[in-house]
Chain A
Amino acid sequence: MSFCGIAGFLQKIVQWLFQVFPGSTSVLWVHNEATRSFATPSSSQMNPAAVITAEKLTKTYGDLTAVDAISFEVPAGESFGLLGPNGAGKSTTMKMIGGVSQRTSGKLSIMGLDPETHGPEVRAHLGVVPQQDNLDEELKVRENLIVYGRYFGLPLSYLRPKADELLEFAQLSDKAKSRVDALSGGMKRRLTIARSLINEPKILLLDEPTTGLDPQARHILWDRLFRLKEQGVTLILTTHYMDEAEQLCDRLIVVDKGKIMAEGSPSSLIREYSTREVLELRFGSERNATIGAELGGIGERVETLPDRVLIYADNGESALEQVSARHLRPLTSLVRRSSLEDVFLRLTGRSLVD
Chain B
Amino acid sequence: MTDNQLPTAAGTLRAHAPEVSAGRARRWGSFYYAEQVLRVMRGYGWSVFLYSVGQPVAYLFAMGIGLASLVDANNLAAFGGVNYLTFIAPALLVSSAVMTASGDFSYPIMDGFKWRRVFYGPHASPLVPQQIAAGHIMASALKFLLQSAVYFAIVAMFGASPSPWGWVSAIVATVAGLSFGLPLMAYASSITKDSGQFALVQRFIVVPLFLFSGTFFPLDSLPLGVRWIGWISPVWHGTQLGRVFTYGLEESPVLTLVHVVFLLGTAAAGWTLTRRRFVRRMGA
Cβ-based interface call for A7 (8 A):
yes
Q: Which residues of B contact A28 (CB under 8 A)?
A: 30-31, 131, 134, 138
Given A139-B43, A147-B35, A150-B36, check contact A134 B117 (CB 8 Å).
Answer: yes
Tell me which of A4, A121, A166, A195 contacts B18 (CB under 8 A).
A121
Q: Which residues of B contact A27 (CB under 8 A)?
A: 134, 271-272, 275
A153 to B25, CA, bound (A): 6
Given A29-B29, A200-B8, check contact A151 B2 (CB 8 Å).
Answer: no
Asked if B126 contacts A124 (CB within 8 A), the reply is yes
Asked if B283 contacts A124 (CB within 8 A), the reply is no
Cβ-based interface call for B73 (8 A):
no
Cβ-based interface call for A49 (8 A):
no
Q: Which residues of B contact A201 (CB under 8 A)?
A: 18
A13 to B15, CA, bound (A): 26
What does DSSP make chain B's interface, helix, strand, loop or mixed?
helix
A11 to B31, CA, bound (A): 8
Cβ-based interface call for B82 (8 A):
no
Cβ-based interface call for A148 (8 A):
yes
A138 to B24, CA, bound (A): 26
Cβ-based interface call for B58 (8 A):
no
A265 to B43, CA, bound (A): 49
Asked if B11 contacts A165 (CB within 8 A), the reply is yes
Cβ-based interface call for B228 (8 A):
no
Given A147-B35, A165-B13, check contact A39 B29 (CB 8 Å).
Answer: no
Q: Which residues of A contact B275 (CB under 8 A)?
A: 27
Cβ-based interface call for B263 (8 A):
no
Cβ-based interface call for B22 (8 A):
yes
Q: Which residues of A contact B34 (CB under 8 A)?
A: 7, 10
Asked if A4 contacts B35 (CB within 8 A), the reply is yes
Tell me which of A121, A130, A147, A230 contacts B120 (CB under 8 A).
A130
A201 to B118, CA, bound (A): 21
A123 to B24, CA, bound (A): 13
Identify which of residues 119-156 in chain B touch chain A, using a CB-to-CB cut-off of 8 Å.
120-128, 130-131, 134, 138, 142
Asked if A165 contacts B28 (CB within 8 A), the reply is no
Given A100-B124, A132-B117, A161-B13, check contact A153 B20 (CB 8 Å).
Answer: yes
Interface size on B, residues (CB 8 A): 60
A118 to B284, CA, bound (A): 11
Q: Which residues of B contact A100 (CB under 8 A)?
A: 123-124, 282-283
Asked if A147 contacts B36 (CB within 8 A), the reply is yes
Most A C-beta atoms less than 10 A away, residue of B2, B29, B272, B282? B29
Most A C-beta atoms less than 10 A away, residue of B28, B38, B120? B28
Among residues of B, the one whose C-beta sits closest to the C-beta of A28 is B30
Cβ-based interface call for A218 (8 A):
no
Interface bits B1-41 vs A (CB < 8 Å: 1, else 0):
11011111101011110111111111111111111101110
A-B CB pair tally, cutoff 8 Å = 178
Interface size on A, residues (CB 8 A): 65
Q: Which residues of A contact B283 (CB under 8 A)?
A: 95, 100-102
Cβ of A163 to closest chain B Cβ, rounded Å: 10
Among residues of B, the one whose C-beta sits closest to the C-beta of A146 is B39
Cβ-based interface call for B116 (8 A):
yes
Tell me which of A124, A138, A151, A227 contacts B6 (CB under 8 A).
A227
Identify which of residues 80-132 in chain A touch chain B, using a CB-to-CB cut-off of 8 Å.
95, 98, 100-102, 111, 118-121, 123-126, 128, 130, 132
Asked if A151 contacts B14 (CB within 8 A), the reply is no
Most B C-beta atoms less than 10 A away, residue of A100, A161, A201? A100
Among residues of A, the one whose C-beta sits closest to the C-beta of B37 is A3
Cβ of A225 to closest chain B Cβ, rounded Å: 11
Q: Which residues of A contact B35 (CB under 8 A)?
A: 3-4, 6-7, 147, 150
Tell me which of B8, B30, B125, B282 contacts A123 (CB under 8 A).
B125
Cβ of B41 to closest chain A Cβ, rounded Å: 9
Q: Which residues of B contact A220 (CB under 8 A)?
A: 1
Among residues of B, the one whose C-beta sits closest to the C-beta of A123 is B126
Q: Which residues of B contact A169 (CB under 8 A)?
A: 4, 6-7
Given A4-B35, A148-B125, check contact A153 B24 (CB 8 Å).
Answer: yes
Cβ-based interface call for B203 (8 A):
no
Asked if B124 contacts A98 (CB within 8 A), the reply is yes
Cβ-based interface call for A231 (8 A):
yes
Q: Which residues of A contact B272 (CB under 8 A)?
A: 27
- Could you show 23 A-B contacts with beta carbons less than 8 Å apart? A6-B38, A27-B134, A28-B134, A29-B26, A29-B30, A30-B26, A100-B124, A101-B283, A102-B284, A119-B126, A120-B127, A120-B128, A123-B126, A126-B124, A128-B124, A134-B116, A136-B40, A148-B122, A151-B29, A153-B126, A165-B11, A169-B4, A200-B14
* The 6 residue pairs across chains A and B that have the minimum distance between CB atoms: A153-B24, A165-B7, A151-B125, A124-B18, A128-B124, A120-B126
